[in-house]
Amino acid sequence: MALDEFRAEVRAWLRDHLEGGFREVKGLGGPGREHEAFAERLAWERHMAAHGWTCVGWPEEYGGRGATLEQQVVFHEEYALADAPARVNHIGEQLLGPTLIAFGTEEQKQRFLPPVVAVRELWCQGYSEPDAGSDLAGVRTRAERDTGRGEWVVNGQKTWTSLAHESQWCFVLARTEPGSERHTGLSYLLVPMDQPGVVVRPIVQLTGTSEFNEVFFDDARTAASCVVGAPGDGWRTAMATLGFERGVSTLGQQVGFRRELAAIVALAERNGAIDDPLIRDRLVRAWIGLETICFNALRMLDGAAAGASGPEASIGKIYWATWHRALGELAMEVSGAAGMLTGSGPGAGPDGLDDRQRLFLFSRADTIYAGSNEIQRNIIAERVLGLPKEARGQAVRGRH
């Protein structure tokens, strides 16, 4: 289907369906606001599923639409332009699904993909631990085989687990070979959250809300067949998921960024900040930066279409995260003294924060999650520029 035709179809569908009760969910959710109208947004997403508008980029045989990358970008653009609510099933659709399609057994695909398409089961990502964030190879959560019952038994702690409190399943990176080190001996396990061995504790964030959690596994169980890729080869699977997280899944967000920038420009025009030459300069630079993000995204599309992976995604991640964090700071500059007061600005929510304050606070996390800026720079240095690898593990610790 021609791209214009596809755009018209998406636009018309969203126009016709974000109506009635669903009109209420327009513009809700998003970073720092995941708690907003969660049940209503879930209902909206199930409605999308019933009309075949979830997982549009997945192959048709797994319930998707087989949309090309360009079509996926168009879909995300139209979605944001329609002011449709933030998606609740992002982790299942954009991270777990593509990973299973690439590495899962046929049995796993049949079991786990349909409930993602239908938004019947939500997923969370169990990578980070108190001592294993950037250095993911330091994972200590372990899993052992109980051959008698044909199950894995999982013990350990994860942290910063987004949406764990809403999720039915978690993909967990765990050490399954005792005595193994670093990237070896890890496995990628699919673990049900609704069982006595799993405890989820919310963590309160800078915005005052709780999008993520600590998750404790205490003799939690999952079936022997719930390992993706070969046991002990989980690193490869986990890295593929990170590639999906940094790559195509972020392509649609530029429209949201454009709206945020437009709102800041509008405020600057209203309150006179636009007359300050330094603010004008920063607004123009923000606009140029956004254009750069869009062009890099197109380059990434080309690379992804040609089967390339990795480095372009890191360049994209570092660029948009830094740009968006700076936009949050600019939003505060433009707000002036009013930015210091909560509960006063236009559109202030029940948390007392207005959109610009929430943007400022949450965007501090952009350069951390999905791989911090420093880690992206390491990837670019080593894998793009071919610079020598930095000292890791013992060598680094030994210096302290």
Ligand X SMILES: Cc1cc2nc3c(=O)[nH]c(=O)nc-3n(C[C@H](O)[C@H](O)[C@H](O)COP(=O)(O)OP(=O)(O)OC[C@H]3O[C@@H](n4cnc5c(N)ncnc54)[C@H](O)[C@@H]3O)c2cc1C
Catalytic residues: 245
How far is 392 from 382, CA to CA, in rounded Å? 13
The nearest distance, CB 376 to ligand X, in angstroms, is 9
Spatial distance between the Cα atoms of 362 and 162, rounded to a whole number of angstroms: 14
Q: How many residues bind ligand X (CB under 6 A)?
A: 20
| For ligand X, the closer CB: 209 or 335 | 209
Q: Take residue 269 and report the two structure tokens written for it.
A: 């025009």
For the segment 84-143, give every residue that binds ligand X (CB under 6 A). Answer: 124-128, 133-135
Q: Please identify which residue in 68, 210, 309, 372 interacts with ligand X, judged by CB under 6 A.
A: 372
User: In this chain, which residue has its C-beta nearest to ligand X?
Assistant: 133
Main-chain phi, psi angles of 168, to 5 degrees: -90, -25
* Cβ burial, residue 391 (10 Å; 0-12/13-18/19+): exposed
Report the residue number, 134 or 225, with the smaller CB distance to ligand X.
134
Toward ligand X, which CB reaches closer, 7 or 90?
90
* Chain center to CA of 295: 21
Among 11, 369, 381, 382, binds ligand X (CB under 6 A): 369
Q: Specify the residue, 135 or 333, whose C-beta has the smaller distance to ligand X.
A: 135
Among 262, 350, 374, 387, binds ligand X (CB under 6 A): 374
Phi, psi at 199, each rounded to 5°: -120, 130
Question: Measured from the CB atom, is 73 or 132 closer to ligand X?
Answer: 132
Residue 30 contacts ligand X per CB under 6 A: no
In the complex, least distance from residue 36 CB atom to ligand X, rounded to whole angstroms: 16
User: Is 168 among the residues that bind ligand X (CB under 6 A)?
Assistant: no
Torsions phi, psi for 186 (to 5 deg): -100, 155
Among 22, 103, 152, 212, binds ligand X (CB under 6 A): 212
Cα(347)–Cα(327) distance, rounded to whole angstroms? 19
Measured CA to CA, the distance from residue 98 to residue 103 in angstroms comes to 9
Regarding 322 and contact with ligand X (CB under 6 A), the answer is no
DSSP 273-286: GGGSHHHHHHHHHH
Nearest to 259 by CA among 30, 19, 10, 15: 30
| Least gap, CB of 51 to ligand X (angstroms) | 28
Amino acid type, 71:
Q
Q: How far is CA 224 from CA 103, 125, 389, in A?
A: 16, 19, 37
Q: Minimum Å distance from CB 243 to ligand X?
A: 14
For 351, residues 6+ apart whose C-beta sits below 8 A from its C-beta are 207, 208, 209, 358
What is the nearest approach in angstroms of ligand X to the Cβ of residue 32? 9
Of 115 and 133, CB closest to ligand X: 133
Length of the chain: 400
Residue 68 CB, shortest distance to ligand X, in Å, is 28
Return residues touching ligand X (CB under 6 A): 124-128, 133-135, 160-162, 212, 365, 368-369, 371-372, 374-375, 378
